Amino acid sequence: MGNFGCGDGGWTLAMKIAGDKKTFHYDSPFWSDRKGYNLAGGTSGFDFQETKLPTYWETPFSKICLGMKIDHQINFIVINKRANSLYSLIADGEYRTTLLGRHTWKKLIGSQASLQDNCNKEGFNAVCTSSDYAKARIGILSNNENECGSCDSRIGFGTGGYPDDSNTCGNEALHLPDNGDKHIKAMGYILVQ
């Protein structure tokens, strides 16, 4: 795939995640296995078919392109990160940080994005101290209190926990977030280069 919003060069699709389905919930075994899901969905572009392709565990990269579609608008951000595969970054459950900042993560959602002001734990396998609260396989977690124990807001892919455990991709925010309470379920796209 050429430049669709993440810059020049060939991009390879790895996953498509529907925020209103549990297929790729934070606790799904798909994050830690080498099994594909709906491979035909990998050929249908930026649509609503979920998929997990062998590129998830086979493809080394230096950049990750993340996209979220809400209604018919898709917003993209890029993470500069070298790894042997997405599997190597995520499957072991270890937290690995990114340094994008909350403003960049909010670009995925657009003007409706909302996060609390504190904590801002971002990266891969991000989990609040209390595991009942926000968590994301790829994303950012925020809190109204000045700690990361009880995060009530998140933007991410492969998410779960409070406030809405059924939202697996998008934006959840409660308890004094910066742009009001949100429950936005997005269609997510993960590509590598």
Residue 82 included in any domain? yes
- What average pLDDT score do residues 65-94 get? 97
- Residue ranges making up the domain that contains 168: 12-192
- What average pLDDT score do residues 37-61 get? 97
- What average pLDDT score do residues 76-100 get? 98
Indicate if the pLDDT at residue 78 is higher than 90: yes
The rounded distance, in Å, linking the Cα atoms of 151 and 106 is: 16
Residue 155 included in any domain? yes
Q: Considering the chain, what percentage of its residues have pLDDT values greater than 70? A: 99
For the chain, what is the domain count?
Answer: 1
Q: 68-90 in b/e burial notation, b at 16+ Cβ within 10 A?
A: bbbeeebbbbbbebebebbbebb
Residue 7 included in any domain? no
Indicate if the pLDDT at residue 131 is higher than 90: no
Residue 83 included in any domain? yes
Q: Considering the chain, what percentage of its residues have pLDDT values greater than 90? A: 93
Residue 125 included in any domain? yes
Indicate if the pLDDT at residue 97 is higher than 70: yes
Phi-psi region of 94 (alpha: psi -120 to 50; beta: other; left: phi over 0): beta
Residue 59 included in any domain? yes
Question: How sure is the predictor about 1, in pLDDT bands with cuts at 50, 70 and 90?
Answer: low
Average pLDDT, the chain: 96
Residue 6 included in any domain? no
Give me the pLDDT at residue 2, please.
Answer: 64
Q: Nearest to residue 99, comparing CAs of 135, 124, 69?
A: 124
Indicate if the pLDDT at residue 176 is higher than 80: yes
Question: How sure is the predictor about 128, in pLDDT bands with cuts at 50, 70 and 90?
Answer: very high
Residue 120 included in any domain? yes
